[in-house]
Chain A
Amino acid sequence: MESIQINPLTVECTLFFQENPYTFETLSGLGTRLGRKPEDLRPVLDELVTNTILEIMGTGDNAIYRYNQPKSVDMNGLMI
Chain B
Amino acid sequence: MTSYTATGIDGLDYILNGGFPAGSSILLDGAPGTGKTILGMQFLYEGAMKGEPGIYITFEEFPEQIYNEMHAFGWDIKALEMENILRVICLSPEILIDQMKQPNGLFEQLIKEINCKRIVIDSLNLLYFGIEDLVEKRKTIYTLRNILRKNTLTSILIHEQTSINKHNIPIVSYIVDGVIRLLLQDHQTMYRKRTLEVLKMRGTKIREGEHIYRINNSGVDLIPSLTMIEDKAITEYQSENISTGIPALDNLLQGGIPKGSTFILDTNSKANYKYFLGSILARRALAGENAVILLSSLASILDLEHIYSLFDVDLRDLVSKKKIYFIEHYDRPIPEGYRSAVIKVHNLDDEEYKRVIDENLWNYIKDSTEQGEKWFIYYDLNTIVSRRGKDFVKSYFTEEAAKTAARGITLLALSNFTELGQETSSFLERTCNGVLQTNVDGNYQYFQVKKSPQGVMSQPLLVENIQSKPFIRLV
Looking at B63, B81, B89, B95, the one whose CB has the most chain A CB atoms below 10 A away is: B95
B373 lies within 8 A of chain A by Cβ: no
Known contacts being A19-B64, A20-B63, A64-B106, is A26 close to B90, with CB within 8 Å?
no
Known contacts being A20-B64, A22-B63, is A29 close to B91, with CB within 8 Å?
yes
Residue of B nearest to A24 (CB): B91
B-side contacts of A62, CB under 8 Å: 98
Residue of A nearest to B109 (CB): A57
> Do B89 and A19 touch across chains, with their CB atoms under 8 A apart?
no
> Do A23 and B95 touch across chains, with their CB atoms under 8 A apart?
no
Residue of A nearest to B88 (CB): A22
> Do B90 and A22 touch across chains, with their CB atoms under 8 A apart?
yes
Min CB–CB distance A71 → chain B (angstroms): 12
Min CB–CB distance B411 → chain A (angstroms): 64
B-side contacts of A57, CB under 8 Å: 106
Chain B, range 38-87, C-beta contacts under 8 Å to A:
62-64, 81, 87
The number of residues on chain A lying at the interface, defined by a beta carbon within 8 Å of a beta carbon of chain B, is 13
> Do A20 and B62 touch across chains, with their CB atoms under 8 A apart?
yes
B92 lies within 8 A of chain A by Cβ: yes
Chain A, range 19-49, C-beta contacts under 8 Å to B:
19-26, 29, 33
> Do B98 and A24 touch across chains, with their CB atoms under 8 A apart?
no
- Please report the C-alpha to C-alpha distance between residue A75 and residue B133 in the assembled complex, in whole angstroms: 57
> Do B90 and A23 touch across chains, with their CB atoms under 8 A apart?
yes
A-side contacts of B81, CB under 8 Å: 21-22
- Please report the C-alpha to C-alpha distance between residue A64 and residue B102 in the assembled complex, in whole angstroms: 14
A-side contacts of B63, CB under 8 Å: 19-23
> Do B91 and A25 touch across chains, with their CB atoms under 8 A apart?
yes
Q: Tell me if A's interface is mostly helix, strand, loop or mixed.
A: mixed
Partner of B92, one of A19, A20, A21, A25: A25
> Do B106 and A20 touch across chains, with their CB atoms under 8 A apart?
no
> Do B89 and A24 touch across chains, with their CB atoms under 8 A apart?
yes
B-side contacts of A21, CB under 8 Å: 63, 81
A-side contacts of B87, CB under 8 Å: 22
A-side contacts of B106, CB under 8 Å: 24, 57, 64
> Do B95 and A25 touch across chains, with their CB atoms under 8 A apart?
yes
- Please report the C-alpha to C-alpha distance between residue A23 and residue B92 in the assembled complex, in whole angstroms: 9
Residue of A nearest to B67 (CB): A19
B-side contacts of A25, CB under 8 Å: 90-92, 95
> Do A26 and B62 touch across chains, with their CB atoms under 8 A apart?
no
A-side contacts of B91, CB under 8 Å: 23-25, 29, 64
- Please report the C-alpha to C-alpha distance between residue A26 and residue B98 in the assembled complex, in whole angstroms: 12
Chain A, range 49-78, C-beta contacts under 8 Å to B:
57, 62, 64
- Please report the C-alpha to C-alpha distance between residue A33 and residue B64 in the assembled complex, in whole angstroms: 13
B-side contacts of A24, CB under 8 Å: 89-91, 95, 99, 106
- Please report the C-alpha to C-alpha distance between residue A64 and residue B81 in the assembled complex, in whole angstroms: 21
Min CB–CB distance A80 → chain B (angstroms): 27
- Please report the C-alpha to C-alpha distance between residue A25 and residue B63 in the assembled complex, in whole angstroms: 13
> Do B90 and A64 touch across chains, with their CB atoms under 8 A apart?
no
Chain B, range 91-116, C-beta contacts under 8 Å to A:
91-92, 95, 98-99, 106
- Please report the C-alpha to C-alpha distance between residue A47 and residue B98 in the assembled complex, in whole angstroms: 26
- Please report the C-alpha to C-alpha distance between residue A64 and residue B99 in the assembled complex, in whole angstroms: 10
- Please report the C-alpha to C-alpha distance between residue A23 and residue B88 in the assembled complex, in whole angstroms: 8
A-side contacts of B88, CB under 8 Å: 22
Min CB–CB distance A16 → chain B (angstroms): 8
> Do B90 and A19 touch across chains, with their CB atoms under 8 A apart?
no
A-side contacts of B64, CB under 8 Å: 19-20
- Please report the C-alpha to C-alpha distance between residue A23 and residue B62 in the assembled complex, in whole angstroms: 9
Binding site for B on A (CB under 8 A): 19-26, 29, 33, 57, 62, 64
Q: Other than the known A23-B63, A23-B90, A29-B91, what 15 A-B pairs have Cβ atoms closer than 8 Å? A: A21-B81, A22-B63, A22-B87, A22-B88, A23-B89, A24-B95, A25-B91, A25-B92, A25-B95, A29-B95, A33-B62, A33-B90, A62-B98, A64-B91, A64-B106
Q: List 19 A-B contacts (CB under 8 A).
A: A19-B64, A20-B90, A22-B87, A23-B63, A23-B89, A23-B90, A24-B89, A24-B99, A25-B92, A25-B95, A29-B91, A29-B92, A29-B95, A33-B62, A33-B90, A62-B98, A64-B91, A64-B95, A64-B99
List the 6 closest pairs (A to B, CB-CB), nearest first: A23-B90, A19-B64, A24-B91, A29-B92, A20-B63, A22-B89
